[in-house]
Amino acid sequence: MTDSKVHSNIIFSQQVDVELRKIVQEYPAGKVFLLTDKMAADFCMPLIQKVIDEYSIQIVAIGSGEENKNIQSIVEVWDFLSNNGADRKSLLINIGGGMLTDLGGFAASTFKRGLDFVNIPTTLLAQVDASLGGKTGFNFNGLKNEIGVFMEPNSVIINTNFLKTIDRENFLSGYAEMLKHGLIKSREHWDELLTYDMENINYDALQEIIAHSVVVKEWHVLNDLREQNIRKALNFGHTVGHAFESYAMKTGRPILHGYAVVYGMIAELHLSAKQCGLGIDELNSISSWMIAKYGKFEIQESDFEALYQIMTHDKKNEGKRINFTLIPEIGKVEINVDCSKELIIEALEYYKNL
C-alpha cells in the first residue's frame, strides 16, 4: 500500500543556486533558515552563497562528524530556530552529509510539530540514501539512529559538483549504498556499478548512475514509507552493518557507514546462501570484490558475542527475533528472515576468514 503523504520533489541539477532560489522565494522574508556543519560550510556553501545573501538566510553550523549526531546538537538547532522567530510557515535548508540531513530533518519535523525542510546532500552517501526517504533521527545511548521520526523533505537537490570535495573513503562509503541498491533490485544497476571507473571519476556519468540508484530507493519508499513491508529490503546489509558500526565506535576504531554496510552485506550474503539459496560462487565472488575495494574491519572470535548483542537491539527486530533482509539472487529479496544465533555467528566467521 502506498503511503498517502505527498512525496519529496527530487531535483537533479548542476545549478543548485537556481533551484534553491525557486524554493526559497515561496516563503516569507526572514522565515528561511539554514543548517550546516563546519566542513560543509567551508567547502559547499560557496555554491549557494548568492541565494543566502539575496534572501538574508540565517545560518547555524554544528560540529561535523557522527559524534555530533546527538541530542545536544538537536537542542542547538531548536534553540537557533526559537531564538530567530521560526514558525510553522518557515523553511529549514539542510546542507551537508547524511549525519546533517538526518539530524536537520528531525529538528525540523519536531519543532512546533513540524516545519518544511529541504535537503541539499553534499556527500555521495547522502545523495543516494540518507537525504531521501523520510528517515530522520540521531544516535542515543551508543545506538545508531535510535531516536527519530518518518518525515519526507519537501525537496532534495542533488548536484554532483559537491562530490568533488569528498575524499576517496567517503566516496566509497556512498558507493556502498548504491551497491546495495543493485543487489536488492537490479542486476543491470549492479553491473554498471561494477564497471564504473572509480579511479577516474566522470561526474556527468556519475550523476546518471546516482539517478538510477535513487530510483531504486524511491521505489521502495513510495510503496512503503513507514517500513511495514517491502521497504525493509533497503535494510540489506544493515543489521550486521550497524552492529559493526556501533562496535567500531565503542572500541575506538570508528569506520564510515558505507564500509560497515559492505562488511554487513558480506555476512548477510553468507546468510542468504545458507537460508535462501544464493549461489556459493556468487557469494564468494561478490565478497572478494568487496574486500578488494573496501579492505576489512578486523574482528576476532572474542568479538562475536558483542556484535550479536548489538544486533538484538536493532529497530527492525520483532520480539526476540533478529530480522534480516536476504537475497536469493541479485535483484530479488526475502524480508523478515529469522536466522539462528548459530547461523549469525557462522556468518561472522565467514567474514573474519576472508
Cell 556468518, located at residue: 347
Q: Does domain 169-353 have CATH number 1.20.1090.10?
A: yes
Question: Is it the case that residue 5 has pLDDT exceeding 60?
Answer: no
User: What gap in Å lies between CA 164 and CA 168, rounded to an integer?
Assistant: 10
Per CATH, the number for 9-166 is 3.40.50.1970
Report pLDDT digits (tens) over 56-76: 999 999 999 889 999 999 999
**pTM value?**
0.89
Report pLDDT digits (tens) over 293-331: 999 999 999 999 999 999 998 767 776 789 899 999 999
Mean pLDDT of the chain: 93
**Cβ contacts of 188 within 8 Å, gap of 6 or more:** none
The residue ranges of every structural domain in the chain are: 9-166, 169-353
Report pLDDT digits (tens) over 214-241: 999 999 999 988 888 999 999 999 999 9
pLDDT attached to residue 162: 92
- Residue 90 contacts residue 67 (beta carbons within 8 Å): no
Question: In 3-state terms, the chain is what percent helix, strand and coil (to 5)?
Answer: 55, 15, 30
**Proportion of the chain above pLDDT 90, given as a percent:** 84
First-to-last alpha carbon distance for the chain, in angstroms, is: 41
Report pLDDT digits (tens) over 163-172: 998 899 999 9
Confidence of residue 92 (pLDDT cuts 50, 70, 90): very high
Provide the Cα torsion 45, 50, 51, 54; round to 10°.
Answer: 140
